[in-house]
Amino acid sequence: MNARRVGALVLRQGYLLKSSPVRVLPIFAWVLIDIVLWGYITKYLHTISSPGFSLVTAFLGAILLWDLFTRVMHGLASAFFEDVWSRNFLNYFSSPLTIIEYLSGLILTSMATSSLALVAMLLVASALFGLSFMAYGFMAIPFLLILVLFGVALGILGCGVVLRYGPAAEWLIWPLPALLSPFVGVFYPVSTLPMWMQMVAAFLPASYVFEALRTIVAGGTAQASQLAIGVLLAVMYVLLAVWCFSRIYRTALRLGLVPRYSAESTG
């Protein structure tokens, strides 16, 4: 892997962000709106609920982590869509750039923008609602690791779908995190769900994060083995997503989809 080529992709996205506030705004806007909205909802619920249970750490923490996952996925897809919108695939894929380098560039771009979003969310959640990540202790590390990896996997898979089915498939991509949210139990224990949904949840790495989070908030100790399953699943999904994208890319080469992206309008 050539680090300079990966750097070129990140630099390209950096140039776009630098020159366009319209691109910078979505990195912060939606996640901060969520934090503020849920912060006040949580604050209100706290006044009417029984004392002793920290709704801020449970609900607002969960929202923050879920928004980070969504931001990672959307950050990766946004970087990919810049190439769709500017009809740039032919220029990129006729260069020495490899698929692994291309995906690495997208992932690094997403990590950079998501880190900014995370810092902004932590600052606002801490300043306005007193949320402290310290409440999760060292478990915050596997929480973040699992959600970032799962976001990367979902983002790569989404990009593959668009590469295969064209820009019209864009509308399928953005709601993917929302489709998963009922299964992973962001706001409620997975045991609340019917059995078939619980079975789906068992295969989603994010479920292990929110289960562990609630255990910690309730004063218990999160099981490291459960989080290890989450990490393993997330790593497996990243590898699977890269494999899928590579297969889709091979299909795109066979069907002539890459030149078609440039030769035809992106409608």
How far is C-alpha 3 from the chain's CA centre?
24
User: What is the footprint of another protein within residues 93-122 (CB under 8 A)?
Assistant: 93-98
HSE, CB side, 13 Å, CA atoms: give it for residue 103.
23
Tokens of 183: 């299964």
Q: Which amino acid is at 124?
A: V
CB atoms within 10 A of CB 100: 14
Per CB under 8 A, the segment of 57-65, 89-97, 116-124, 200-208 that binds another protein is 89-97
Nearest to another protein of 240, 253 (CB atom): 253
Q: Output the smallest distance, CB 16 to another protein, in A.
A: 6
State the nearest-atom distance from the C-beta of 11 to another protein, in Å. Answer: 6
Distance CA 167, CA 157 (A): 14
Which of residues 8, 36, 135, 169 is near another protein by CB under 8 A?
A: 8
DSSP per position, 4-42? HHHHHHHHHHHHHHHH-HHHHHHHHHHHHHHHHHHHHHH
- Cβ closest to another protein, residue 6 vs residue 55: 6
As measured in angstroms, the least distance from the Cβ of 25 to another protein is 16
Contact code string over 13-42 relative to another protein, x by CB under 8 A:
--xx--xx----------------------
Does 80 bind another protein (CB under 8 A)? Our answer is no
State which of residues 5, 43, 46, 164 lies at the interface with another protein (CB under 8 A).
5
Helix (H) or strand (E) holding 240: helix 224-255
Of 228, 175, 229, the residue nearest 202 (C-alpha): 229
Among positions 49, 91, 126, 192, the unique one binding another protein when judged by CB under 8 A: 91
Q: What secondary structure letter does DSSP report for 154?
A: H
Using CB under 8 A, list all residues that contact another protein. 2, 4-5, 7-9, 11-12, 15-16, 19-20, 82, 86-88, 90-98, 250, 253-256, 258-259, 262-263
